[in-house]
A and B are shown apart, each in its own frame.
Chain A
């Protein structure tokens, strides 16, 4: 079937404001009817981190005031302990104003480098002689940690699931 002349004429014209409105409408209706699952973005990011680091994933072994760290109903963590292959890390979150927190942590063995991954930003510190480390002024939101044993050559990094601060 030959398309009507009107349609061919329309097809050759430049995109205009009404096209933008229609595409926005199409976008909105699909976001409504068939939205991207709420936790897909976090699952993708975590899977990519693990894959690109060739890391081992730590498990959450205890949490206080932490109902759920995966899925969509994040609750505020106060103290969380992660462990993997004998390496464990306990992290305590202290409020530092409404938008920021301080993080104090202890690692079960010495000479560990800790990377804190915030949205779009990372910073790194090392444990002191007591296995303690601190990150101050961390923006609230989803974060995770990557731990690297400095003393053990060739040890894969350990990555923690994301927690909501």
Chain B
């Protein structure tokens, strides 16, 4: 097993684009923003910030990358740096909001009841299988939801890297499935409706 991510991984593409950017060629950064922003968006939202604040958090993470470009020693750690920065910023905002408004619900879904409701188009296309996955996913512990949602927006060689950036224990996901995916599979397998769709 390789500890560093392979060629077809977000971490490596991030490193390549960042190295070029530091050498004065910013052309790869545009694609990197396209590739990595959905992952950062997931991380910010799972911390419980509103959509509007998540926009600020994600944009700030990229701006901080530009600002601190000279001080990032290892380009291979850029993806991790972006995830960590996003998570920390989002967390700080949530903590601040709670301090200012004691009693504010921590879970964003309590604040925005619509956040997990299917969009009109979503409701139409939602197949039975995805409805099942959604309901079992929603029953996972919050940390598992955060991990799985984040890795779902990364490439497979990045899983361990993303888990580490989120502060999850080594082996949370990677070459082996890890506890969170195992929980989801065990929970689905125990549901008789799941049998019907597979």
Q: Judge whether A120 is part of the interface by a CB distance below 8 angstroms.
A: yes
A86 within 8 A of B: no
Would you call B178 an interface residue if the criterion is a C-beta within 8 Å of the partner chain's C-beta atoms? yes
Using a CB–CB distance below 8 Å, which chain B residues touch chain A? 21, 26-31, 33-34, 37-38, 41-42, 45, 51, 55, 58-59, 62-63, 65-67, 69, 115-119, 121-122, 125-126, 129-130, 133-134, 137, 148-149, 151-153, 156, 159, 173, 175-179, 181-186, 188
Query: From residue A104, how far is it (CB to closest CB) to chain B in Å?
Result: 24
A48 to B64, CA, bound (A): 9
CB closest chain-B residue, reference A122: B27
Find out whether the CB atom of B185 lies under 8 angstroms from the CB atom of A121.
no
Q: How far is the CA of A12 from the CA of B172 in the complex (A)?
A: 10
Residues of A close to B125: CB separation below 8 A: 32
B37 close to A41 (CB less than 8 A): yes
| A40-B175 contact, Cβ under 8 Å, with A28-B130, A30-B42 | no
**How many interface contacts (CB-CB < 8 Å) are there between A and B?**
138
- Chain A residues, CB < 8 A from B183: 3, 7
If over half of A's interface residues share one DSSP class (helix, strand or loop), that class is named, otherwise mixed; here it is: helix
User: A7–B59 contact, CB under 8 A?
Assistant: no
Q: Give the B-binding residues of A (Cβ under 8 A).
A: 3-4, 6-8, 10-16, 18-20, 22-34, 36-37, 40-41, 43-45, 47-49, 51-52, 119-122
**Chain B residues, CB < 8 A from A10:** 177, 181-182, 185-186
B118-A32 in contact (CB<8A): yes
